[in-house]
Chains A and B, each alone.
Chain A
Amino acid sequence: MPQSSNWFMRRLGHLDGILLTLVLLLLGISLAVVASASGQSSARISGHLVNIGLALGVMVVMANVPPHILSKVGLPLYVTGVVMLIGVALFGEIRNGSRRWLNLGFMAFQPSELLKLALPLMLAWYFQHNEAVLRTKHFLVSGVLLLLPFLLILRQPDLGTAMMLGASGFYLLFFAGLPWKVIFGGAALGAASLPVAWGLLHDYQQRRVLTLLDPTSDPLGAGYHIIQSTIAIGSGGLFGKGWTQGTQNQLDFVPERTTDFIFAVFGEEFGYVGVIFLVALYLAIVARGLTIAARAPTLFGRLMAATISLNVFTYAFVNMGMVSGILPVVGVPLPLMSYGGTALITLLLGVGIVMSVATHRQLNKT
């Protein structure tokens, strides 16, 4: 017994205290808000608790996997993911008008979820592998590695996931040292080509993009969600209406309020003070993650920790921006806050990797 308990303590020793504290704080808030948003439904709360337990377990496991082992799964995971994406394009099931699901016989699976993890792992491994001889050629290759799944997902079509995947790939290239002139040049080129791309779109596609950018133009359809969520946030004021006291929340006006729109519930019940605190927590996670990246002994560790940290914040920003009405509606959950097992597990899996980077300090040269 003492021996096994000792083993258990050692496994926990791979957790990063600061990150753990921040994650637990956020999860605590999440429990409270999910409870309020679900009308204190015990089924929802216990479901959420199970998800949290599972995800924390995954985090502990990942924190104990040394980075050099992790780096080895990047290539096979990436290849599997891309093959499955091609499979989706050829045989995928169409749900809600887009081809995202692959029927594996026993379960339906979205390969794009796998790529969210596989792509950074693949690219980080690739850069670490060629660390000593890093040249323009390697950036070009990694650009192709990024574009391949990006384009496959884009044509499903799943613009939201493609953008998030593109962002994480870009972060990795950015931290790997993608030259500024390429970044700015690419940005300028993209901006310049926008009007041309716009002209190539069909009328209905243009309209769809416009509704995406301005939901208030469709107040009973797509705009309804955003209008109600901004009312919820705005009516919260400085200190909020209090836990379980948000009328927009309790009376069903806020849609998807335990999942994608949980920020509206939070903003309504906890006010601007609560929002500042929440944003501060995300900033603290990013700060801790970047610190870990700065201290990481290997390029793989550095790239993974930095990319995952920025990813977490990107998800948070896109979600909060969407719910508060400054970004188009894309189905992105709020990290560590929204109800939902898959997203939570994927996220804490990433946090686990960062912790692993933080606690495996010895240089593991391949």
Chain B
Amino acid sequence: MSFVAPLKNLDRELARFHGRLKAGGALVGLLAIALLARTYHLQIGQHDLYSQRAESNRISLIPTAPNRGVILDRKDRVLAENYSAYTLELTPTQSHDLDATLAEISKLIEITPGQLRRFRRLVAESHEFETVPLKSRLTDEEVAILATNRYRLPEMEVKARLFRNYQAGPGMAHVVGFIGRINDRDLARLRESGREESYHGTAHIGKTGLEQSYENVLHGRPGFEQVEIDAAGRAVRILSRIPPVSGKDLRLYLDLDLQAVAEQAFGDYLGGLVALDPNTGGVLALVSKPGFDPNLFVDGIDPDAWKFLNESPERPMVNRVLRGIYPPGSTIKPFMAMAGLELKLRKPSDSIADPGYFTLPNSSHQYRDWKRGGHGSVDLRRSIAQSCDVYYYRLAADMGIDRMHDYLAKFGLGEKSGIDLDGESSGLLPSPDWKQRRWKQAWYPGETVIAGIGQGYHLTTPLQLATATAMLANGGRRVEPRLVEAVRDPLTRVWQPQQPVVHGQVAFSPANLAVVRQGMIDVMRPGGTASAAAAGAPYAIAGKTGTAQVVGIKQGARYDASRLARQYRDHALFIAYAPAEDPKIAIAVMVENGEHGGSTAAPIARAVFDYYLAGKRPAEKTVEAVDAAE
């Protein structure tokens, strides 16, 4: 190796190294340009797009639930109102081990087994990311304990929620109803009606009663808060706010005192009662016994309580006034009498001789009168006053089922009354057509005969009977029963009265109507089937008793209450209006297993009339054993 060669070599190496440095520098320059091009694209080229995305990242619209309208009785007493309470809610999908979380929470605050069961049911029904309430109405102390432990259990949250309180108790449950958590079916319905947006921020919806039927009025519109949120979705500050619009308030025709009087009058009996203002259709009282505590449902009912309510043989969840369907029995007689007169099949003075039974031509079957041996000579007034069956067997046979069906339909039988509550039953007004459709069988003449006294296929609700009774009271106007008297806008605070809805007018001949009314007045007079119930009343009552059979009685057998278990005894019915000369209230009463309309149902109506017309509170014992034959 020569001395010179390495030096030359070194120079060449150095030159090559410098070349490599330049190449490296060039590479770095290229990469820097690529970077700057990319950031130019992001920050200049697409700046608007990314600005907008950053904004929508940080700004969130948080709905604020509207105040639900309150429900008041006619004297402005609160039936349903709101209150705000702290609720412990969990997001189950955020929890790795829900059981461990629940156990942990149970160490902090008391969680009852009922609350746990309810929580598990709600979890099963809930959607992903949804929060599910575990315990509501937390005390201040519980809120404080939970707040200090929030860092350990991020899946739990304490939220201020609006709740509903039904302070009028079980007696009003069938009228006011209740709200409950929005479920899948509710959601589907809201989506269909395009109202889903109104429920942002709201967990509850009306499920039954007025809460359900006036949902759209009571609910209101949610407001929105434009909130700056962080990546975890926590609100950092409020940017702007659109306040919610509260729902409208409802005022009812119903008088809580009258309702209490009616309820008390039932004593130990179960049943239903509805009292209407015959001129407006306003519902003055609506009792369905037994009731239930609607507050149980507000934040999700515990499955055990639900099971109890649903499976109880007393069926407390069924509104007997709207959904209880019973054979109208003798209460159909005034309407049959109107049909007979108006169809000119009978004159008021026409009398029949009642031997105690009726037979169709060419038949030996005896249709018995309830009174052994018959009523003797019976004209139209007497037929109502004494509830003569034979008179109506014969009238029915003369009228035929088609004319009977068509005329009774004018009273709204077989049709929903149109009350402002959902779930009403339309009952059943039988006809040969119906029988053919339903049973594929021909109509038998004998079926017409028993239809004449409200037996057979006939089924009516107490509400239908009350509406029909109101027509006799108001001279033929078919008013729709209405619970809500007025609606108040939360902003103007002005009550907007609701107009009565009239379904048409039946043009009764005044003379005919007067006779039927007189018959009903006679019912309450000595010799009438409910005379005892009217004793001492300072006003005149027009009424009609009835009995709805629970079990069929064989030909030739006699009904013997003492040999029947209570639940198989007949239901007692009574329809009435008062004062007879200027009706202000029409009523239908159904007493389950009450047996005699005159002795159990009529005194209840009397108590209601006494309070409504004379301001008289009933004595302690209202259902007395009143001797009255039917």
On A, residues with C-beta under 8 Å from B are: 131-132, 134, 171, 174-175, 177, 228, 230-238, 247-248, 251-253, 267, 271-272, 275-276, 279, 282-283, 286-287, 290, 293-294, 299, 302, 306, 310, 313, 317, 320-321, 324-326
Contact = CB atoms under 8 A, between A and B. Distances in A.
B43 interface: yes
Contacts of B236: 251
Contact of B34 (A134, A231, A290, A326): A326
A7 to B, nearest CB: 35
30 contacts: A132-B1, A175-B24, A177-B13, A230-B50, A231-B50, A231-B54, A233-B39, A233-B43, A234-B43, A234-B46, A234-B47, A234-B49, A234-B50, A235-B51, A237-B44, A247-B54, A247-B55, A247-B57, A247-B58, A251-B230, A251-B231, A253-B58, A267-B42, A272-B40, A272-B43, A275-B43, A279-B36, A299-B13, A306-B21, A324-B38
A234 B40 CA distance: 9
B229 interface: yes
A275 B39 contact: yes
Interface stretch (B25-33, B124-132, B343-351, B370-378): B25-33
A353 to B, nearest CB: 17
Nearest to A305: B21
Contacts of A299: 13
A228 B50 CA distance: 10
B434 interface: no
B42 A279 contact: no
Contacts of A324: 35, 38-39, 42
B20 interface: yes
Nearest to A279: B32
Given A283-B28, A306-B24, 18 more contacts: A132-B1, A132-B9, A171-B24, A174-B23, A174-B24, A231-B54, A233-B50, A234-B51, A235-B47, A235-B51, A247-B57, A251-B229, A252-B231, A253-B54, A272-B43, A283-B32, A290-B21, A293-B17
A125 B465 CA distance: 110
Interface string B220-263: 00000000111110001000000000000000000000000000
Contact of A302 (B17, B27, B31, B55): B17
A321 B41 CA distance: 13
A237 B18 contact: no
Nearest to A312: B28
B53 interface: yes
B35 A248 contact: no
Contact of A294 (B18, B27, B43): B18
A238 B44 contact: yes
A134 B16 CA distance: 14
B36 A231 contact: no
B94 to A, nearest CB: 15
A174 B21 CA distance: 9
A180 to B, nearest CB: 9
B8 to A, nearest CB: 12
Interface string B452-481: 000000000000000000000000000000
Nearest to B24: A310
B526 to A, nearest CB: 85
Given A174-B20, A294-B21, A306-B21, A236 B43 contact: yes
A296 B238 CA distance: 61
A259 B523 CA distance: 95
A259 B216 CA distance: 53
B6 interface: yes
Contacts of B9: 132
Contacts of B32: 279, 282-283, 313, 317
A313 B43 contact: no
B43 A175 contact: no
Contacts of A293: 17, 21
Contacts of A236: 43, 47
A313 B31 contact: yes
Nearest 9 Cβ contacts at the A-B interface: A234-B50, A252-B231, A235-B54, A234-B42, A251-B230, A272-B43, A235-B50, A252-B230, A253-B231
Nearest to B52: A235
A275 B34 CA distance: 13
B54 to A, nearest CB: 4
Nearest to A318: B31
A175 B35 contact: no
B35 A321 contact: yes
A228 B232 CA distance: 13
Contacts of B1: 132
Contacts of B228: 247, 251
Nearest to A252: B231
Interface string B274-293: 00000000000000000000
Contacts of B51: 234-235, 237
B127 to A, nearest CB: 18
B35 to A, nearest CB: 5
Interface in B299-344: none
B540 to A, nearest CB: 78
Nearest to A178: B20
A325 B39 CA distance: 10
Most chain A CB within a 10 A radius of its CB, from B18, B24, B40: B24
A312 to B, nearest CB: 10
Given A237-B47, A272-B44, A177 B16 contact: yes
Nearest to B23: A174
Contacts of A234: 42-43, 46-47, 49-51, 53-54
Contacts of B27: 310
Contact of A279 (B13, B35, B49, B55): B35
B39 A272 contact: yes
A283 B33 CA distance: 11
Most chain B CB within a 10 A radius of its CB, from A234, A267, A293, A321: A234
Nearest to B232: A252
A245 to B, nearest CB: 12
A233 B232 CA distance: 20
Nearest to B58: A247
A326 B38 contact: yes
Contact of A317 (B31, B230, B231): B31
Contacts of B230: 251-253
B57 A248 contact: yes
A317 B34 CA distance: 9
Contacts of B35: 279, 317, 320-321, 324
Contact of B43 (A171, A271, A286): A271
A117 to B, nearest CB: 20
Contacts of A233: 39, 42-43, 50
Given A251-B229, A253-B58, A230 B42 contact: yes
A167 B38 CA distance: 22
B39 to A, nearest CB: 5
Contacts of A287: 25
A276 B39 CA distance: 9
A248 B42 CA distance: 15
B47 A313 contact: no
Interface string B43-76: 1101101110111011000000000000000000
Contacts of B50: 230-231, 233-235
A257 to B, nearest CB: 10
B43 A238 contact: yes
Contacts of A290: 21, 24-25
Contacts of B21: 175, 290, 293-294, 306
A279 B34 CA distance: 11
A122 to B, nearest CB: 19
A43 to B, nearest CB: 18
Given A177-B16, A234-B51, A251 B58 contact: yes
A61 to B, nearest CB: 27
A248 B54 contact: yes
Contact of A286 (B25, B36, B40, B53): B25
A324 B104 CA distance: 43
B43 A267 contact: yes
Contacts of B47: 234-238
